[in-house]
Amino acid sequence: MAFNERFANLPAYAFPRLRALLDAHAPGGDPIAMTIGEPKHPAPDWIGPMLAAEAAGFQTYPPNDGEPGLLSAIAAWIARRYGATVDPDRLMVANGTREALFNACLALCPEHKRGGRPVVAMPNPFYQVYGVAALAAGAEPLYLPATRETGFLPDYRGLPPAVLDRIAIAYVCTPANPQGAVASAGYLADLLALAERHGFCVFSDECYSEVWRTAPPPGLLAVAAGQGADPERAVVFNSLSKRSNVPGLRSGFVAAGPAGMARIRQLRAYAGAPVPLPIQRVSARLWADEAHVAASRALYHAKFADADTILGGVPGYAAPEGGFFLWLPVPGGDGQAAALRLWQRTGVRVLPGEYLARDDAEGGNPGRGYIRVALVAPPDQTRAGLIRLRDGLFG
């Protein structure tokens, strides 16, 4: 039987690959999971009762693009957070950012550019949906090293003009997953200027925007408005998963220019799964509330401080500017071997960095010498995991 080779030839996804690496071996202590970006901080306690009160909404088909009250709540949050005005007609509700990051690429990537196959560019390492979205759209994925030398962000300015001319979509994640680097307003402005000059869209994945260390990260919508950029060049994604500690709610949004949003919504009408109405109504209340976000961020600040204290003497350790991952170089330069050794010695479970990246033409992999460590567990468990990590790998 024949299958679509674009997908059949994909490497195993990161977490099945991790299970294959670790699960045949006994842990060296009580397991502590520091792999997946699944926040464990308390979510607002009114969510359950409100979902129950709105349960009758499960008996109706929800508004495909988003209930007006939710779209208005998201627009109001964007205005408060970034000082940018976005009409609700330029927004669409999504089942988390992953769905939107994938489907927006399908909706907005042309079949041809400059007479050839279009390019969809992305950082390397990267959130894996960027790559599969490029393949699904029939584009050529371009993996740009996001390393210490580039500030852990892709260097779009360093690309030849002929390559930039072929780009249809350029992904950026800020704060970055996995490295925690924050794209400055200047970086985003330069990227938008390239997009206008060479005719591509910037897809900004901002789902970690509310987990930051010293200052709120800039957002692409505000930068675009500030420099008078064509609104069709800026497409932004965010969700409640990290902001509000509700990854299972599957509630996010995409913002785009009027023409781009019309195409995103049209594809959704044919092939999308709208967010259930009770979840939309809970989501509107979550976007309107900042108190629970500030309380969660304070917990992350305490864990950042613990990481600085525990790992501050480790070679190559750097505190993230945002997000909740540590991107930690390991002795010997082999993150896969380090993850296995750490599991067998201590029971701490981390993700090898190469599982989030692709090899280059020479077989190098920008994630190979790293592990990704998620600081999502409660503070005491996170502290214990960091101590075991330090002693198990660097002791």
Res 5: pLDDT: 84
Average model confidence (pLDDT) across the chain: 97
Res 62: pLDDT: 97
Condensed to tens digits (0 to 9), the pLDDT of residues 290-333 reads 999 999 999 999 999 999 999 999 999 999 999 999 999 999 99
Is the distance from CB of 185 to CB of 223 less than 8 angstroms?
yes
Strands 119-124 and 140-145 turn out to be parallel
Mean pLDDT value across residues 74-88: 98
Condensed to tens digits (0 to 9), the pLDDT of residues 253-273 reads 999 999 999 999 999 999 999
Cα 40 off chain centre by: 17
Q: What are φ and ψ of residue 366, in 5° steps?
A: -65, -10
End-to-end CA distance of the chain: 52
Mean pLDDT value across residues 91-120: 97
Q: What is the Rg, in whole angstroms, of the alpha carbon atoms belonging to the chain?
A: 21
Condensed to tens digits (0 to 9), the pLDDT of residues 37-64 reads 999 999 999 999 999 999 999 999 999 9
Res 395: pLDDT: 84
Distance (Å, whole) CA 26 – CA 44:
37
Res 51: pLDDT: 98
Is the distance from CB of 92 to CB of 63 less than 8 angstroms?
no
- 8 pLDDT higher than 90: no
pTM for this prediction: 0.97
- 2 pLDDT higher than 90: no
Distance (Å, whole) CA 130 – CA 109:
12
- Token couple for 290: 């900042």
Condensed to tens digits (0 to 9), the pLDDT of residues 107-134 reads 999 999 999 999 999 999 999 999 999 9
Domains in the chain, start-ordered, CATH in brackets?
A: 10-42+292-394 (3.90.1150.10), 47-289 (3.40.640.10)
Res 66: pLDDT: 98
Res 25: pLDDT: 98
- 369 pLDDT higher than 90: yes
Res 1: pLDDT: 80
3-state DSSP of the chain? CCCCHHHHCCCCCHHHHHHHHHCCCCCCCCCEECCCCCCCCCCCCCHHHHHHHCHHHHHCCCCCCCCHHHHHHHHHHHHHHHCCCCCHHHEEEECHHHHHHHHHHHHHCCCCECCECCEEEEEECCCCHHHHHHHHCCCEEEEEECCHHHCCCCCCCCCCHHHHHHEEEEEEECCCCCCCCCCCHHHHHHHHHHHHHHCCEEEEECCCCCCECCCCCCCHHHHHHHCCCCHHHEEEEEEHHHHCCCHHHCCEEEECCHHHHHHHHHHHHHHCCCCCHHHHHHHHHHHHCCHHHHHHHHHHHHHHHHHHHHHCCCCCCCCCCECCEEEEECHHHCHHHHHHHHHHHHCEECEEHHHHCCCCCCCCCCCCCEEEEECCCCHHHHHHHHHHHHHHHHC
Distance (Å, whole) CA 379 – CA 359:
35
Distance (Å, whole) CA 76 – CA 101:
22
Give the pLDDT band (50/70/90) at residue 387.
Answer: very high
Burial 242-264, CB ≥16 within 10 A → b, else e: bbbbbbebbbbbbbbbeebbeeb
Give the pLDDT band (50/70/90) at residue 199.
Answer: very high
Q: What are φ and ψ of residue 318, in 5° steps?
A: -140, 130
Strands 167-173 and 140-145 turn out to be unpaired
Res 200: pLDDT: 98
